[in-house]
Amino acid sequence: MILSVIVVSYNVKGYLSLCLDSALIAMERLGKGQSELIVFDNASDDGSADWASLNYPSVKVIKSNQNLGFSAGNNAAIQRAKGDWVLLLNPDTVVPEDTFEKVLAYGESHPRIGAIGVPMFDGSGTWLPESKRGLPTPWASFCRFTGLWRLSAGSQFLNRYYCGHIPANETAEVEVLSGAFMWMRKSALDESGLLDEAFFMYGEDIDLSVRIIRSGWENHYYSDAPIVHFKGESTKKGSLAYVRVFHDAMRIFSEKHFAGSQAFVMRFMIEIGIRFRAVSAFIQGRIRRHTLMLLDLILSSLLAFGLVQMHAWTSGIGHPVGPSLVLSAMAGLSIVIAGVWFGTSDRPFVWLRTVMAGLAAGLMLVAAYALIPDFLRVSRAAIGAIGSSLVLFPTVLRTLLTFAMPSRFRWRKARATVGLLVSDERANSVQKWVESSYGSSLVVNYLKCSFESDDFVSQAKGNLVLCDARLGGEVLLSAVRAGRDLGADVRIVPDALWLALGGTNRDSGPGELLPWGADGLGRTERRRAKRRLDMLWSVWVLLFGGGRGVHADAMSRRNAWAVLMGRRTWLGFHGGWEGEERLPAMLPGVFLVGSGHSVSSLEEAKRLDLRYAFDFGWVRDLELLMTLRTD
């Protein structure tokens, strides 16, 4: 047998189908009976192990009673592998049809090769630097953890960790490969040993790569066989949890491969780098998430202060600095509060929400001005000028941003365009699903798989593109790479039509599972609308009570306060059914979806939960709450 493909899976059912489909197609190129596919399930609770056994009878599924980690899972499968070559493949990957054929030919033509890695692109079409790496020496590790390598990504001195001196499109011998796609000669693996199970999740690929080289073999980065690596559920590299786990992995690596003073320096520099990275990741995450909000606060405050001083200069009426600063702060806070309420930081920008936020900010400023003491007030003319400016401020600022940085900021189109890359047999079902989800608010265009054609460029640019998973790995890879260049949000649609994978949507990272519905709670603006209703209804209950009906105890002021403080929501999911983890995160509900109707089974609860998640409407919620209050 030529090849054994090993996939270690843990709660990634949505990705697993894509991975297995693409791998099985690629295996066909090697000949019948010349390859095998082994899935090791690390005690997933999403039913993926049974699902894989049922839907892929040719795949060998190994079920574990506990989560043994990446290394132990792979080792258990490797011990049962029969192929001359072994491929460790992440479940959130998609391989083009000719990948295995190409890599095999390259490996067979270089007898000293022990392991091969390939270029990887995430769900947004971005090339992943970890596709090729160097030995994590103390200096290389320090530059990686502190982010110094970003100052000169092509430098061997600053970016040895990611082999910056080797172009992404150049095949070369490297020191370290990624465990997401690690193609190894079985004889080299036997000599170097299995994965070290001291590494639970990260670092085991670095350790194994080093041991393969020390056994006399070579590691190669082969640039002609790119794949998609979504980097979704299994890796959250911007999180502090990832930083801590990776730190532990590198500590184990340094203790194992470095000795004496070098080991001490390695541990010290990693410790410094990790702590710096943890702090910077925390700060960057907050700043990136609230960049527009901070910009609104600073610029609107400066605008208000400038208008007060300009009025004082032109009218001859002096305004003390103290009241001017207070008024400036009030203006800035009004813009921020209105922006949070209406979601003016969401991208793409929405004209109506932006205009409403400006009007609300102006009204809030005037109302707040009426409540402050006389010694803090300025002239009414200055207040009028500031209030009028605040009305226009959000719209003007966002318009300027769309002109200055069109790749990052844009206005939402009145009629959205969705491009469909679908197989002929699925064209009707996908179109019906899209139109039922989005209604008349979009234009559906069928696109052909010619990603450089004028038709594709004009229709896909800046829009959503849904790509049918059945088109194959080569088309999917080309689609996400083309989408990256065009600023299109490319989503790969598997057989389960209610979700899509990958893309650059602002509500998710590359590779996130995201439900696509016109008003789905997977979208930030819909979650914000639900939160607004929760807050307004809570204020109503606190002021006027929850009525005297059969639901009066539940609609109490105590629950209203809990909802107002963000501990509960008025309407929540039933849950308790298999696969509920795919639902958008939601607080516990005071009432359950469909309250007022009998729910006789988990299947009925599932139907109600899914319908609510993907077809949310705040008007329906309000009607239900009013009904519950009066019943």
- Per-residue model confidence as pLDDT tens digits over 451-469: 666 666 666 666 667 777 7
Separation in Å, CA 340 to CA 10, 172, 525, 529: 36, 50, 11, 11
Residue 437 and residue 388 in one domain = no
Give this prediction's pTM: 0.71
Q: Which two tokens stand for residue 473?
A: 């790995």
Residue 238 placed within a domain: no
CATH number, domain with residue 467: 3.40.50.2300
Rounded to a whole number of angstroms, the distance between the first and last alpha carbons of the chain is: 69
Q: For residue 90, what are the contacts with CB-CB under 8 A and spacing of at least 6?
A: 7, 8, 19, 179, 180, 181, 229, 234
On whether residue 477 sits in a domain, the answer given is: yes
Sheet containing strand 3-9, edge to edge, reads: 60-63, 35-41, 3-9, 85-89, 181-185, 113-117, 218-221, 172-174
Residue 467 shares a structural domain with residue 575: no
Domain identity same for 461 and 335: no
Q: Establish whether the linkage from the previous residue to 226 is cis, with ω within 30° of 0.
A: no
- Exposure string (b/e) for 300-318, b if CB count within 10 Å is 16 or more? bbebbbebbeebbeeeeee
Residue 28 lies in a domain: yes
Contact 91, 7 (CB under 8 A): yes
Q: Which residues contact 202 (CB under 8 A, 6 or more apart)?
A: 245, 246, 249
How far apart are alpha carbons 402 and 408 in whole angstroms?
A: 8
Per run of 10 residues, the mean pLDDT along the chain (length 631 residues) is: 95 84 94 94 86 92 90 93 96 93 97 96 86 86 78 87 91 94 96 84 85 95 93 51 67 71 70 70 70 90 87 70 84 91 83 90 88 78 84 91 83 66 70 59 62 66 70 80 75 60 47 46 78 90 79 84 91 78 80 74 80 78 83 68
Please say which residue of 356, 377, 404 terminates a domain.
404
Write phi, then psi, for 515 (nearest 5 degrees). -70, 140
Q: Which domain holds residue 74?
A: 3-132+168-232
Q: What is the pLDDT of residues 183-201, one digit of tens each?
A: 999 999 999 999 888 776 6
In DSSP terms, 468 is beta-bridged to: 493
Amino acid at 479: A
Does some domain include residue 281?
no
Q: What residue has token string 């600063």? A: 325
Residue 67 tokens read as 């989560």
How are beta strands 227-229 and 120-121 bridged, if at all?
Answer: parallel
Of 613, 598, 490, 412, residue with least CA distance to 122 = 490
Q: What was the pLDDT predicted at 87? A: 98
Phi and psi at 218, nearest 5°, equal -115, 150
DSSP collapsed to 3 states, 232-276: CCCCCCCCHHHHHHHHHHHHHHHHHHCCHHHHHHHHHHHHHHHHH
For residues 476 and 539, membership in a common domain is answered with no
Structure tokens that stand for 386 in this block: 């500031």
Q: Return the H-helix or E-strand segment holding 288.
A: helix 260-289
d(CA 31, CA 247): 43
Of the CA atoms within 13 Å of residue 63, those in its CB half-sphere come to 11
Q: Are residues 556 and 596 in the same domain?
A: yes
Same structural domain for residues 400 and 480?
Answer: no
Residue 206 shares a structural domain with residue 341: no
Helix axes 380-404 and 291-315, enclosed angle (nearest 10): 140
Residue 251 has a pLDDT of: 72
The answer to whether 41 and 11 are in contact (CB under 8 A) is no
pLDDT at 118: 97
Residues 334 and 387 placed together within one structural domain of the fold? yes
d(CA 136, CA 145) in angstroms, rounded, equals: 11
Q: What is the pLDDT of residue 386?
A: 86
Q: Which CATH number covers residue 23?
A: 3.90.550.10
* pLDDT attached to residue 112: 96
Question: 202 and 55: one domain?
Answer: yes
Residue 430 in any domain: the answer is: yes
CA angle 548, 552, 554 (to 5 degrees): 175
Cα–Cα distance, 186 to 176 (Å, whole number)? 18
| Single residue among 404, 429, 452 that ends a domain in this structure | 404
Q: Which two tokens stand for residue 405?
A: 């940085």
433 shares a domain with 376: no
User: 232, 252, 271 — which closes off a domain?
Assistant: 232
Residues 6+ apart with CB under 8 A from 381: 311, 315
Rounded-to-10 torsion of CA 428, 434, 437, 441 = -120
Domain co-membership, 18 together with 100: yes
Cβ count within 10 A of residue 99: 29
Question: Are 506 and 595 contained in the same domain?
Answer: no
With beta carbons less than 8 A apart as the criterion, state whether 163 and 174 touch: yes
Residue 564 lies in a domain: yes
In-domain check, residue 259: no
Does any domain span residue 194? yes
Strand stretches in 495-547, DSSP E: 499-501, 513-515
Burial class (CB in 10 A: 0-12, 13-18, 19+), 576: exposed
Q: Domain tally for the chain?
A: 4
